[in-house]
Amino acid sequence: MIEKIWPWIALYLLMMIYQKLAGGSLTDLWPLGVVACGLAVYQLYHIIKTLLTKQNQEH
């Protein structure tokens, strides 16, 4: 389940590297960072919810 988060983090890091190579400032990318973090948090929330649901069903 964790693997769903990594593509977003990798994409953000690639964009940061590209932006740096292109000579731009990293501050231009903060909206992308917010989106990437939001997606990662959402995925984590979904994973935790799924795990809790599985635990409740086992009891």
Task: State how many domains the chain has.
Answer: 1
Supply the pLDDT for residue 27.
66
- Given a cut of 80, whether residue 5 has pLDDT beyond it is no
Number of residues written out for the chain: 59
Q: How far apart are CA 55 and CA 51, in angstroms?
A: 6
Supply the pLDDT for residue 3.
67
Domain that residue 32 falls in? 2-58
List pLDDT tens digits, range 14-57: 877 777 777 766 666 677 777 777 888 888 888 888 888 888 88
